[in-house]
């Protein structure tokens, strides 16, 4: 036996080991949704709410107040004001926390509150917070803030490397909640006035549904720390405080990864009049595309706003464009936002049902990441979101089916080559 023979043997073994590791990290064992969701009832039918409350859960609860916040100029001051008002506890979970002025302001404010005796728990995604200045974390920890990283690679957790927490949750005293699309970074500063000021929407929440938002945070905090935050300081009695019927809907690979996917499919299948979708990352699978085409065939109007040339993930944009054919041909209207990065995540169905939060319309959000959305069943709230949608539409450019068909062949070839990556995007 010569050296080349052993080289081949070792190379084969190494290849097999690498392939096995890839399967362990990126493979999936759960049973996935494989059947089309048919149109059985409209959004207005009580059965739709029963399905959302019982089949998927938790139950929608009445008596919530929700304030819509646009872009960093409105979002960050509202979050910081709530933090400064804390009397007992603050829980905070986010995917992106980067260095910069806004990151430092949050670190300083949270540290100040911890020194006042407020119990503060912060959960940062290990991948999403790679750009944070470690001095921010040290400052907060020195002040008494508990800071943890979600799925930091260790010998016990390396198989979960591909599962990130993408949730955006801030809860103050168990009474005031925030969720939406914003990350803690200077990119969100301003009011979407230019390429350096991202467009996003976040929501300030009061009422019984805040307890569900707190439960979503506690879910992941328990996974990381092993202790449960369950006292009245975190879950106080919450009385009705507004007109909205709402639920906080969460998903994770360990507790129903397909549930968020199913929630979106059921919402699309129930549409009778219109679907308006604002989405940062849009890579719909076959089931989602078929559900939208079926909705278009029964007369539903579909308008979708996506990022244009200003996008932080150009690969995702290319993968997305490769999926538009059947939608455009069936009559969907797709627009690209022009002024800056478009990071919103808002679904409005039949001007009555709204889902907002951290979830993107792609396989990573539906099946790989931990996500949390606020669902609201209310015409007035839906109309408020439609006002913002139309304003964004006025700053977007429509992509026609003919333009999509006539794109350069190199672009088509690149988009086609990305099909193999769509399950990870």
Does a structural domain hold residue 15?
no
248-281 tens-digit pLDDT = 989 877 655 578 999 999 999 999 999 999 999 9
Does a structural domain hold residue 131?
yes
Residue of 121, 151, 168, 250 with catalytic role = 168
125 is known as an active-site residue: no
Long-range contacts of 134-137 (CB under 8 A, 24+ apart): 136/97, 136/99, 136/103, 136/104, 136/107, 137/107
168 is known as an active-site residue: yes
Domain encompassing residue 270? 32-424
Which of 48-57, 87-96, 273-282 is the least confident region? 48-57
Residue of 121, 166, 261, 367 with catalytic role = 166
Residue 17, pLDDT above cutoff 70: no
Phi-psi region of 357 (alpha: psi -120 to 50; beta: other; left: phi over 0): left
Find all residues with CB under 8 Å of 48, minimum gap 6, and list them.
41, 42, 266, 270, 353
261 is known as an active-site residue: no
Nearest of 299, 123, 296 to residue 218 by alpha carbon? 123
Residue 7, pLDDT above cutoff 70: no
Q: What is the CATH number of the domain that holds 59?
A: 3.30.870.10
Q: What pLDDT is attached to residue 424?
A: 75
Mean pLDDT of 7-34: 48
CB atoms inside a 10 Å sphere around CB 339: 17
State the DSSP H helix or E strand holding residue 136, giving kind and residue range, or none if neither: helix 134-143
Mean pLDDT of the chain: 91
Strand pairing report for 89-94 and 119-125: parallel
Does a structural domain hold residue 20?
no
333-381 tens-digit pLDDT = 999 999 999 999 999 999 999 999 999 999 999 988 999 999 999 999 9
Residue 157, pLDDT above cutoff 70: no
Does a structural domain hold residue 341?
yes
Residue of 343, 362, 370, 378 with catalytic role = 343
At residue 34 the predicted structure's pLDDT band, cuts being 50, 70 and 90, is low
Q: 65: buried, middle or exposed (CB in 10 Å: 19+, 13-18, 0-12)?
A: middle
- Please, what is the end-to-end C-alpha distance for the chain in angstroms? 45
345 is known as an active-site residue: yes
Does a structural domain hold residue 1?
no
199-230 tens-digit pLDDT = 999 999 999 999 999 999 999 999 999 999 99
To the nearest whole percent, how much of the chain has pLDDT over 90?
A: 79
Does a structural domain hold residue 406?
yes
Does a structural domain hold residue 57?
yes
Residue of 350, 362, 378, 392 with catalytic role = 350
Residue of 202, 345, 362, 378 with catalytic role = 345
Nearest of 36, 31, 37, 32 to residue 266 by alpha carbon? 37
Which residue reads 């209310």 in tokens? Answer: 378
Q: What pLDDT is attached to residue 252?
A: 77
343 is known as an active-site residue: yes
At residue 32 the predicted structure's pLDDT band, cuts being 50, 70 and 90, is low
166 is known as an active-site residue: yes
Q: Which two tokens stand for residue 137?
A: 């974390």
At residue 421 the predicted structure's pLDDT band, cuts being 50, 70 and 90, is confident
Look up the pTM and report it.
Answer: 0.91
Residue of 173, 370, 378, 392 with catalytic role = 173
Does a structural domain hold residue 14?
no
Alpha helices in 242-339 (DSSP H): 258-270, 286-297, 314-321, 325-330
63-83 tens-digit pLDDT = 999 999 999 999 999 999 999
Residue 8, pLDDT above cutoff 90: no
Distance between CA atoms of 359 and 252, rounded to whole angstroms? Answer: 11
Query: How many structural domains comprise the chain?
Result: 1
């Amino acid at each position: 036996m010569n050296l080349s023979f052993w080289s081949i043997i070792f190379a084969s073994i190494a290849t097999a080991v690498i392939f096995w590791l890839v399967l362990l990290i990126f493979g999936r064992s759960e049973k996935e949704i494989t059947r089309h969701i048919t149109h059985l009832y409209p959004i207005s039918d009580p059965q739709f709410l029963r399905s959302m409350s019982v089949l998927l859960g938790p139950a929608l609860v009445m008596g919530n107040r929700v304030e819509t916040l646009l872009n960093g100029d409105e979002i960050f001051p509202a979050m910081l004001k709530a933090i400064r008002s804390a009397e007992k506890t603050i829980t905070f979970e986010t995917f992106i926390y980067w260095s910069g002025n806004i990151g430092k302001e949050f670190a300083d404010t949270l540290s100040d509150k911890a020194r006042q005796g407020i119990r503060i728990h912060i959960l940062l995604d290990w991948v999403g917070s790679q750009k944070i200045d470690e001095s921010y974390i040290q400052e907060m920890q020195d002040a008494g803030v508990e800071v943890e990283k979600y799925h930091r690679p260790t010998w016990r957790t390396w198989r979960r490397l591909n599962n990130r927490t993408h949730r955006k949750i801030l809860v103050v005293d168990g009474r005031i909640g925030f969720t939406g699309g914003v990350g803690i970074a200077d990119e969100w500063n301003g009011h979407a006035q230019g390429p350096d000021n991202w467009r996003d929407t976040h929501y300030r929440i009061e009422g019984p549904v805040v307890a569900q938002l707190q439960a979503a945070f506690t879910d992941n905090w328990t996974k990381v720390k092993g202790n449960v935050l369950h006292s009245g300081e975190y879950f106080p009695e919450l009385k009705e405080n507004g007109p909205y019927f709402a639920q906080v809907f969460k998903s994770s690979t360990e507790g129903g990864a397909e549930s968020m996917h199913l929630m979106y499919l059921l919402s699309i299948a129930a549409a009778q009049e219109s679907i308006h979708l604002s989405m940062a990352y849009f890579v719909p699978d076959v089931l989602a595309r078929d559900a939208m085409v079926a909705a278009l065939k029964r007369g539903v109007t579909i308008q979708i706003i996506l990022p244009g040339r200003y996008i932080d993930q150009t690969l995702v944009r290319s993968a997305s464009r490769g999926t538009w054919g059947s939608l455009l041909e069936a009559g969907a209207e797709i627009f690209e936002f022009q002024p800056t990065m478009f990071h919103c995540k808002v679904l409005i169905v039949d001007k009555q049902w709204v889902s907002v939060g951290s979830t993107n319309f792609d396989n990573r959000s539906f099946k790989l990441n931990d996500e949390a959305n606020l669902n609201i069943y209310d015409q007035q709230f839906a109309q408020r979101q439609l006002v913002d949608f139309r304003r964004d539409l006025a700053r977007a450019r429509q992509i026609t089916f003919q333009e999509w068909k006539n794109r350069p062949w190199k672009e088509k070839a690149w988009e086609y080559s990305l099909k193999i990556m769509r399950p990870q995007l």
